[in-house]
Amino acid sequence: MSDTLRESVTHTLYMEAEYLDEKRWDEWLGLFSDDCEYWLPSWDTELEYTSDPANELSLMYYDSRIGLEDRVFRIKTGTSSASSPLPRTCHQVSNIRPTLNDDGTCDVKTSWVVHYFKFNESHQFFGHYEYLLTPTSTQADSAWKIQKKKIIVQNDLIPAVLDIYHI
């Protein structure tokens, strides 16, 4: 793996975290391809999570960017009571492991923690991300678009309604 690959992938993932923490929703959406998949599977057993979002329970699943755009619209317009007030968040992404595929796409595995503060209480979510990134034709902000993102939440208890900014 080249340093250039690691740097470009890391830059993209750090931008995603920054955009979420700073509530820069449109820029966050811009990191995703139009036909992206955004999936938060639920746990099926103590050690296995669900594997088929079409036929098994998921905590969150969008099969295109349209679902993410709708979620962001509800956050921005205040029509989501679960998102009012919005929490303060701090996303930490680490242990970034990119693997370049023969077709130019990149599989990436990471670890993550999100600290959030709302209603005078602090909590955290933690887990693993799995990405499929596709190269972009421009280097304006990022050399990559997020084609797929799978979010594995390791928490046993979830003390809040999960939303895109929690994970």
DSSP of 73-135: HHHHHT--GGGSSPPEEEEEEEEEEEEE-TTS-EEEEEEEEEEEEETTEEEEEEEEEEEEEEE
Asked whether residue 159 is domain-assigned, the answer is no
Output phi, psi for 163, to 5 deg.
Answer: -140, 175
Within-domain flag for 21: yes
Residue 27 makes CB contacts below 8 A (sequence gap 6+) with 15, 19, 141
Is residue 144 situated within a structural domain?
A: yes
Question: How far apart, in Å, are the Cα atoms of 99 and each of 74, 82, 106?
Answer: 35, 37, 6
19 domain residue, yes or no:
yes
Does residue 71 lie in a domain region? Answer: yes
Tally of domains within the chain = 1
**Domain span at residue 68?**
3-153
34 lies in some domain? yes
pTM for this model (two decimals): 0.92
CATH code for position 97:
3.10.450.50
DSSP one-letter code for 155: -
pLDDT one digit per residue (tens) for the chain, 167 residues:
688 899 999 999 999 999 999 999 999 999 999 999 999 999 999 899 999 999 999 999 999 999 999 999 999 988 877 777 889 999 999 999 999 999 999 999 999 999 999 889 899 999 999 999 999 876 556 689 999 999 999 998 887 788 999 99
Q: Has residue 162 been placed in a domain? A: no
Q: Is residue 149 part of a domain?
A: yes
